[in-house]
Structure 1
Amino acid sequence: MKPGGLRKAGALCCALLMLTHGLAQGSDVAGDTPERQALQRRLAEQIEQINALKRAIAKQEADLVQLRRAVTSESLNAQRGRGPADPAQQPQGGQAAQAPQDGQAVQTAQAAQGGPVGQAPQQEARPPEVAQIFDQPGVLTPRGKYVLEPSLQYSYSSANRVALIGYTVIPALLIGLIDVREVKRNTFTAALATRFGLTNRLEVEARIPYVYRSDSTVSREVGTGSANDTDRTFSASGRQIGDVELGMRYQLNDGGIDKPYYIGTLRFKSRTGRDPFEVVTDCVQRCVGNSSGTGLPLELPTGSGFYSLQGGLTWLFPSDPAVFFGSVTYLHNFKRSNVSRTVLNGEREFLGSVEPGGIFGFNFGMGLGLNDRTSFSIGYDHNSVGRTKLNGQVVPGSVRTQLGTLLLGYSYRINDRRTLAVSLGAGLTRDTPDITLSVKLPISN
């Protein structure tokens, strides 16, 4: 019952006592007078109001007991699911939490009914955190907060290639050179990414990588005579800043338990890394028409050499105790005109316009929280790379390439600001790196 109602009931009781005392004195002095009759009518009205207040008090007490039970049950379920949001709300010294006072219970009950009194209950409007195994994180940065994410990635790949250089006289008879090559590639990428939350639904990101590459090529030319029928080794390396990336992500809806979250992504990749057309190619003369030399770069590039724009849609579906997630993306590489490269003797070889194929990608996975600090994720990532065009024509030998990777990831929350994430990728197709190992340490403010 409200404090005003209690004061009113007290005033009515006082008035009733005064009226009763006045009636008693009046009966000793005089008989049934008009003043006495008026006091009796007023007394009857006061008694009826008191009875109505008693009934209202009993009803409000019953409603209050039900609301206390409902609020206590909801709070207990919330604490079981995620624990208190503020450590200061936990009981200290091993003492049990005290029951709320009457005023606090009324405020809690009114808040549960949608009233303006008290603090509104906290709703989980952000996607749950899972161990990150893909490039795009699923959880957005809250408004006004930032995240610094240093990372280190290592990938290893090996491939065998058989090149047939010559012409066929009859089927199964080749006149020319058979070149068998085995390429082993090691790549280290150290990067620093920063994300800032403009709103609770929108964040921006910048990523600066530093790339070190080392390639070893073993070549054996078959069919040129026994004197040249030996293995030749060619090694090259490169180290420099990679392609800087800028991105933004926007949460499209409010999800929840058994309700998916949808996040739109947009990423732009620059050409800050060493251009593949800037490095010197091992050709004694022009590579077109005379392929003297290996045809390989003497120093490896650290960038793609093309501006790129990628758009995508990420989804997360919480289903206790697991979280299912995935995304669909498309990356467009912008065409370059008047492209030329440098050969060994310093000459420039004009190539014309080069347009790499677009990349369509999709991935999916599942995250599972092992405890309040550790989570585990497993997923699959696939990219389909289109064919490259030179001067509007498809480059001979260029085919659509399929890249498939199986990923495993672990995440451990060191404290409220730092989380250690480790992921391991295994290539499932011939053109995919055999092993990809990544370590990330997001640090939030």
Structure 2
Amino acid sequence: MKVIHRGFALAFGLVPFSLAGQAWAQTNADNDIQPVGQRPPPTEEAPEIQAIPDIGGVLTPKGRLVIEPEFQYSHASVNRLTFRGVEILSTLQIGVLAAEDIDRDTFTAAVTGRLGVTDRLEMELRLPYLYRDDTANFSVNEANEPFDLERSQSGDGLGDIELAAHYQMNSGRNGGPFFVGNLRYKSTTGEGPFDVDRDSNGIEKELPTGSGFHSIEPSVTMLLPSAPAVYFANLGYLFNLKDDINENVGDVRVKEVDPGDAVRLSLGMSYSINPKSSFTLGYKNDFIQETDTTFVNPDTGNSITQSSRSLNVGSMLLGWSYQMSNDSVFNLGLEFGVTEDAPDTTLTLRTPIGLNVF
């Protein structure tokens, strides 16, 4: 008997396509190939993008709990040359020439729990712990009197706890795309930038471990299976809620801060190599609006509002996933910043482990 099979199944829970689920045998005198048995009915589960977090995918089945330990390392550097003064010729400058070299390293250890409430609804809780380390070197040349300044800062502690809900909106029948609705809330459990101690000049004595502001992010994820690949796209809007600060920073009193909202976009493709391995290639971009800060003039008592510049944070995504067992997966994700405002590199290791609880 001659048997033809697909060779491997997608690593995202998809049933095989085309000849999947059918055995073929030469059974008659004319050696015509006749099917033996029929393919199983199409699955209604959306494929999962395992190697990149926060994209969405297969929701946790009803009654199943997934515990996901995670380690993340992020590095960002800033090299900037600034001149403040008058330039008469390209070789003659009168004023202050300053060079900055700043390196920022962030280490995050987190545990995420996901529970399948129904076959289409999943709840999520993420508990992060952060360690941050910044090293800054300043070189200033003022009136031909150069001097160097080096400053190192660090901070560690509980980060901002996050809650999320994911709901699969359709069944993806007949080869159509799946749509998953997501809603994420980020708390202020981490120490924010206005919670840390500062010296008389308003300089932080330690680095914050949280944003200091509540945020809500609704988003929609689209997943389109096309064996042996899965195409994905995610579009969301991050609402950062403004807050009354009423804190003195050096000689200035900060009255209110309204962090800029952000439009978040990601897209890409995940490709199944064999039944246990897959890789993911994608791109994401956050368009962050200006942050408005209201200061109070200590002399006149008048309020002044200043706006920061908007940010464009774009990164290439590269991921790899390996199915260690039926209940555990090893995921490696890499992000490479491609815009000036993005971190240089971000490495993420995740190992979700599943178990049935009801």
Question: SS in structure 2 opposite 1:127?
Answer: coil
Alignment correspondent of 1:408: 318
- Is 1:433 paired with 2:336? no
Alignment correspondent of 2:290: 387
CA distance in 2, matches of 1:440, 1:169: 52
CA distance in 2, matches of 1:408, 1:78: 26
Alpha-carbon distance, 1:181 to partner: 1.2
| 2:64 pairs with one of 145, 159, 183 | 145
| 2:124 pairs with one of 184, 205, 220 | 205
- Is 1:219 paired with 2:138? yes
Name whichever structure is richer in strand by fraction: 2
- Is 1:357 paired with 2:253? no
State the Cα deviation string for residues 236-269 of structure 1 (Å, max 9, x = none). Answer: 0000000000000000000146310000000000
Alpha carbons of structure 1 residues 175 and 281: separation in structure 2 relative to 1, 3 Å: farther
CA distance in 2, matches of 1:408, 1:425: 6
Alpha-carbon distance, 1:189 to partner: 0.6
Alignment correspondent of 1:306: 213
Query: What amino acid is the match of 1:406?
Result: M
Alpha carbons of structure 1 residues 80 and 239: separation in structure 2 relative to 1, 3 Å: closer
Alpha-carbon distance, 1:377 to partner: 0.6
Alignment correspondent of 1:328: 235
Alpha-carbon distance, 1:223 to partner: 1.4
Alignment coverage as a number of residue pairs: 320
Query: What percent identity do the matched residue pairs reach?
Result: 37
Question: SS in structure 2 opposite 1:281?
Answer: coil
1:354/1:390 contact within 8 Å kept: yes
Unaligned segments of structure 1, at least 5 residues: 1-75, 86-108, 113-120, 288-295
Alpha-carbon distance, 1:132 to partner: 2.5
Unaligned segments of structure 2, at least 5 residues: 14-36, 295-302
Alpha-carbon distance, 1:182 to partner: 1.1
CA distance in 2, matches of 1:82, 1:436: 27
- Is 1:258 paired with 2:175? yes
CA distance in 2, matches of 1:80, 1:230: 64
1:279/1:341 contact within 8 Å kept: no
2:8/2:275 contact within 8 Å kept: no
Alignment correspondent of 1:274: 191
Query: What amino acid is the match of 1:126?
Result: E
Query: What amino acid is the match of 1:316?
Result: L
Alignment correspondent of 1:8: none
Alpha carbons of structure 1 residues 163 and 80: separation in structure 2 relative to 1, 3 Å: closer
Alpha carbons of structure 1 residues 186 and 412: separation in structure 2 relative to 1, 3 Å: same
Alpha-carbon distance, 1:400 to partner: 1.1
Alpha-carbon distance, 1:174 to partner: 7.5
- Is 1:373 paired with 2:276? yes
Question: SS in structure 2 opposite 1:301?
Answer: coil
Task: Give the structure with higher Rg (CA).
Answer: 1
Alpha carbons of structure 1 residues 263 and 171: separation in structure 2 relative to 1, 3 Å: farther
1:189/1:209 contact within 8 Å kept: yes
CA distance in 1, matches of 2:223, 2:10: 19
Alignment of 1:126-145 (within 5 A): 126-145=45-64
State the Cα deviation string for residues 275-303 of structure 1 (Å, max 9, x = none). Answer: 1012233544xx5xxxxxxxx42200000
2:9/2:274 contact within 8 Å kept: no
Query: What amino acid is the match of 2:306?
Result: V
Question: SS in structure 2 opposite 1:230?
Answer: strand
CA distance in 2, matches of 1:393, 1:127: 50
1:387/1:394 contact within 8 Å kept: no
2:44/2:173 contact within 8 Å kept: yes
2:218/2:236 contact within 8 Å kept: yes
Alpha carbons of structure 1 residues 154 and 341: separation in structure 2 relative to 1, 3 Å: farther
Alignment correspondent of 1:420: 330
Alpha-carbon distance, 1:203 to partner: 0.5
| TM-score, normalization by structure 2 | 0.81
Alignment correspondent of 2:97: 178
1:278/1:342 contact within 8 Å kept: no
State the Cα deviation string for residues 158-180 of structure 1 (Å, max 9, x = none). Answer: 112345556x6999997653332
Query: What amino acid is the match of 1:252?
Result: M
1:339/1:354 contact within 8 Å kept: no
Alpha-carbon distance, 1:126 to partner: 0.6
Alpha carbons of structure 1 residues 207 and 224: separation in structure 2 relative to 1, 3 Å: farther
CA RMSD of aligned residues (A): 2.9
Alpha carbons of structure 1 residues 406 and 80: separation in structure 2 relative to 1, 3 Å: closer
